[in-house]
Chain A
């Protein structure tokens, strides 16, 4: 028997009604990726538009166009989410073209902080390998958890499991059916 929780991917959702745009999730994500030996780069980006502010991150689509189109099998449909093997990624950007939500970019880790020397940064050749940057639900994070969700001071980020999703759907359905 397949466990209900394994039938669809888990994902992290953000709530613009609660987000105050404090960017703490991005720094937490950066730290998590660094601690897990991945390319040090935030996997979600806080967008500040005319009508609201919120972080945007991978939806972990069940039939993910990024994983389907990846020519080298670096992106794959895993048990919980869309997984990325950074060592296989060739930085071809097919996934960024395929993603309908703007949740994947191809980039390398930023150069180390030396703010006295912004000029050399402008001209510095890229030293590191560029890979697809996407949310992997903090797989392998020591102590478990999801860095952005755990740190958000206003609970604007939520880790959604299929069970929670079903409950949400049920709640909405009952509300709109008005029975």
Chain B
């Protein structure tokens, strides 16, 4: 039996796992000791979520939809050789490029792939296909963090490490962040801080596990972050709790925020949000005075029509109190996938190159045109959320998804399925014939993380090397090998890589400031390195902004005013009025937001989508593990409501209900729980059979187009027989090669 160290394939914590291997199979996993991230600890997914690797239904050969022996969208899957599959893709790409231009091709790549694979993929799309139509799951999670922090403090990533919370932070403010379910080992550090006597503030409409332990829990109405955070700032500023020295030496625009928060006194906000003014004041007092203080934020900051605005407000809190740039103080954007930070770093975004520069930046274009020996396009590409629209408008003809399952993970499933039925060619690269792969025209079988070597960047910017533990079974390839083989079929130069380390050397040249100083040998020896690490003798940067210099052009942090309006329709005008009132410079960051789709008489319940600790996003990996699916008290697809909502609708725990929104209809079981507020339904998105994203709207952040993943819904009780009938319909919908969807009329809300 041999042991190999890999990086956990699940969340962005980036735990190190020792896999025991026998006959090329994983027989046991345990937390690696002596590393900085998890030092011997692991959560249940890292320990028991490995059955997917050796699952019998792993894809082993490429598939093409064929009818009478030739490719046809009306056909069914047939196994083919790599040569045939890649030849077909290359010829279709050439054809579409010639007829409709490069921008008729779009690719969504993956935070599950390594840094090397993401780098090669974006290089292929930009230099060979000739488009910036690339994106990945950051668009549907921390897109607003990237954009919001970039405009205020200069860099859209976490400022500190998880371990610092446990050892140094004395005050923790968690806003819309639920690591006890999504990142248990990160939550472990918060628990260590609490055991040490640190104070905890939780801002969340749900009474999460850590909210129950909090010194202050601000249980706000869903989508009311702006008034609450503005009220906290109000208390800080009117009571002179701000760090005046820090503000005057290191920031711009404090006066804008000072003016804006005048309308948000805790007393006024108590009336509209229902959160007691005393609690708001207590939270403000704690965050401003107990140092070092850290903020953690998750999807409860980003999934709004004003996600960037919420991130602006996090920066306002940090900058007003000077809680940044030291051990245990800053902002931790707790990111969801093991390499989502890394995929962003590699430029897997429609507007950003691998060195973080914009795709329309002339110097950056010149740099990459020389490095890649090609001509680059300076247009920002299509964002992932807009893919269904551009397909239905006939602007995109070929769509390629790598290592993602958008049929389950993306909002408004019916609209996405309609687009997938419409696109000329849909290519999916995955481990399994997922709900998404089943709808593809060409399926390429990929390699999982324990079967490959490469680097991942975790949520704290730590770059770690993943070692291959077992050999892949079947005729399957690494993502980078697939892309390089395709590039050669397209007659491209610059894709002659023979190992991931060769690609790594090019990354160090392509992004010298962040990755230049990291060799494989160094990353391995030093058990991971934080970027920026520009040279071999640079120790890496676990904490950003220690010299109080921000990564903005003038090295100062920017306060960004944010306001709340009652009606979505008034947002644009409110933003214009705000800019006029404050006399803001023309591109100065500011934002207005609202509840995106308020509950009304017809759809009286607000749906919030969340995660459960035992499953990982779409469930493709974790649902194959008996220890998780059967061992961890799994309740399955549930609509979680509180007792008073249940009583009002005459339903009980365990009853089946049909839930309907303006975008879809599903059936789930009722779970009555005290953790959810009145007239709110909480639902996880792990299950095709009770699929929350069939209900979610197309609402999105105005700047980054990150979805809100919310909707107003209605529900009624159904019988067991009716429930079974819905399951049969859903199986038809999600487990057949035919694409079916329900048409819902588009409505203005």
Contact = CB atoms under 8 A, between A and B. Distances in A.
A45 B188 CA distance: 20
Contacts of A118: 689, 727, 731
A164 to B, nearest CB: 19
A114 to B, nearest CB: 9
A167 interface: no
B48 interface: yes
B724 A119 contact: yes
Interface string A142-174: 000000000101100000000000000000000
A122 B51 CA distance: 24
A52 interface: yes
Contacts of A153: 41-43, 184-185, 188
Interface residues of B, number: 47
A27 B180 contact: no
A30 B674 contact: no
Given A42-B631, A112-B626, A122-B724, A51 B689 contact: no
B44 A22 contact: yes
B727 A113 contact: no
A22 B674 contact: no
Contacts of B727: 118-119, 122
A133 interface: no
B207 A50 contact: yes
A134 B629 CA distance: 20
Contact of B625 (A48, A113, A151): A113
Interface in A16-48: 17-24, 26-31, 34, 40-42, 45-46, 48
Given A23-B614, A28-B47, A113 B630 contact: yes
Nearest to B180: A20
Contacts, number: 124
Contact of B209 (A27, A48, A115): A48
Interface in B25-52: 41-44, 47-48, 51
Contacts of A3: none
A20 B674 contact: no
B614 A27 contact: yes
A176 interface: no
Interface in A71-102: none
B248 interface: no
Interface string B617-633: 00100011111111111
B212 A52 contact: yes
A53 interface: yes
Contacts of A50: 207, 212, 674-675
Contact of A113 (B180, B194, B629, B673): B629
Contacts of B213: 17, 52
A110 interface: yes
A119 B731 contact: yes
Interface on chain B toward A: helix, strand, loop, or mixed SS? helix
A24 B675 contact: no
A178 interface: no
B333 interface: no
B209 A20 contact: yes
A18 B674 contact: no
A27 B188 contact: no
B558 to A, nearest CB: 35
A58 B674 CA distance: 25
B615 to A, nearest CB: 10
Contacts of A53: 209, 212
B468 interface: no
Contacts of B187: 20, 22
Nearest to B212: A52
Contact of A110 (B619, B630, B674): B630
B8 to A, nearest CB: 13
A24 B183 CA distance: 12
Interface of A: 17-24, 26-31, 34, 40-42, 45-46, 48-53, 109-110, 112-113, 115-116, 118-119, 122-123, 151, 153-154
Chain A to chain B: the 6 pairs with minimum beta-carbon distance, closest first: A30-B631, A50-B674, A110-B630, A22-B184, A21-B209, A24-B44
